[in-house]
Amino acid sequence: ELKVEQNPLFLSMQEGKNYTIYCNYSTTSDRLYWYRQDPGKSLESLFVLLSNGAVKQEGRLMASLDTKARLSTLHITAAVHDLSATYFCAVLRGYALNFGKGTSLLVTP
């Protein structure tokens, strides 16, 4: 059974600060996704990481994948209020996606 663990599950941070969300998974996979969900909304794709060492950046968010350590990180640089949302990582197993429980991020002034 593939387990996907995110931490922290809740994160309150000040605007302008940096922080990292971690996503660990239990079995081999070379495909990892990050999604964002705003309250009451659907999921929006942020990044698809396809191979070991993959790094992708979009604005203040940067995601990386280390398949040997079974770890992905989502780094937030100089946070702004608009980044407040829940972030999910999802790991591919066969034809199914296994999601983490999500990290609820609140960025405060």
Binding site for another protein (CB under 8 A): 4, 31, 33, 35, 41-45, 48, 50, 88, 90, 92, 94-102
In the complex with another protein, which residue's Cβ is closer, 26 or 80?
A: 26
- CB 78 to another protein: min, Å: 26
Alpha-carbon gap, residue 67 to 83, rounded angstroms: 26
Number of H helices, E strands in the chain: 0, 11
In the complex with another protein, which residue's Cβ is closer, 81 or 101?
A: 101
- CB 104 to another protein: min, Å: 11
Alpha-carbon gap, residue 109 to 98, rounded angstroms: 34
**Cβ neighbours, 10 Å, residue 95:** 5
Alpha-carbon gap, residue 87 to 95, rounded angstroms: 22
- CB 16 to another protein: min, Å: 29
Alpha-carbon gap, residue 54 to 99, rounded angstroms: 19
In the complex with another protein, which residue's Cβ is closer, 9 or 78?
A: 9
In the complex with another protein, which residue's Cβ is closer, 8 or 16?
A: 8
